[in-house]
Amino acid sequence: MDFRKDVLVRSTATVSRNKWKYDADVLYELDAELPLVPVLPAELNQVILNLIVNAADAIREKHAKDETHRGEIVLRTYQDGLFAVIEVADNGAGIPREARQRVFDAFFTTKEVGKGTGQGLAISHDIIVNKHRGDIDVQTETGEGTKFCVRLPLQGAQISSTDQQEEPVESNADNPETVPV
């Protein structure tokens, strides 16, 4: 089987294709030299999926009246010192200024009623910050687009699937693996 350096990001984009295929093109700028990264693969997949779906929604929102315009979602990976970086950028509607401080709050959403739960970014923040000892931030410009940047330690940080749990977890989904992102 062909294991490529960008397996996790690329496969998550493929799984999410039905969410973006009519509205956007996905561009890959994936670092083939990026070292393997210790992660909880299923949980990191969930983060990337949330970010791609949000990007597709933002593009759809911006271009709802112009069906001829396709947006772009850029998936980028690279190494920055002792961190692996995953960026998900779009040229969608951007996040309104008054909402920027709350994007990672549970139950906060800028989507219309019935379209969003306000859980995706809150869960993503928890997975990256609390379980992977990394960080996630957002850069956005209203009307221009948004870029989420996930930074994951390459080594030395202990991944914690159960900070609060006393008994060991036996599921493979909760045990860190060193994988290509």
d(CA 145, CA 90) in angstroms, rounded, equals 5
Q: What is the pLDDT of residues 102-141, one digit of tens each?
A: 777 665 566 665 566 567 788 999 999 999 999 999 999 9
- How many domains in the chain? 1
What local confidence, expressed as pLDDT, does residue 92 receive? 93
3 occurs within a structural domain:
no
Give the CA count within 13 Å in the CB-facing half-sphere of 103.
22
Q: Which domain holds residue 56?
A: 32-160
Average pLDDT, the chain: 81
* pLDDT on residue 7: 84
Residue at 15 is within a domain: no
The CATH number for 90's domain is: 3.30.565.10
3-state helix, strand, coil in the chain (%, to 5): 30, 25, 45
* Residue 89 pLDDT greater than 50, yes or no: yes
**172 within a domain of the structure (yes/no):** no
166 part of a folded domain = no
The Cα 74–Cα 27 span in angstroms is 5
Domain membership of residue 108 (yes or no) is yes
Write down the pTM of the prediction. 0.80
Check residue 138 and give its pLDDT: 93
Tokens 């990256």, located at residue: 128
Does 118 map to a domain?
Answer: yes
Identify whether 134 is part of a domain: yes
Pairwise pLDDT comparison (111 vs 95), residue with the higher score: 95
Residue 55 lies in a domain: yes
Least reliable range by pLDDT among 73-77, 87-91, 165-169:
165-169
Alpha helices in the chain (DSSP H): 7-15, 17-20, 41-62, 120-125
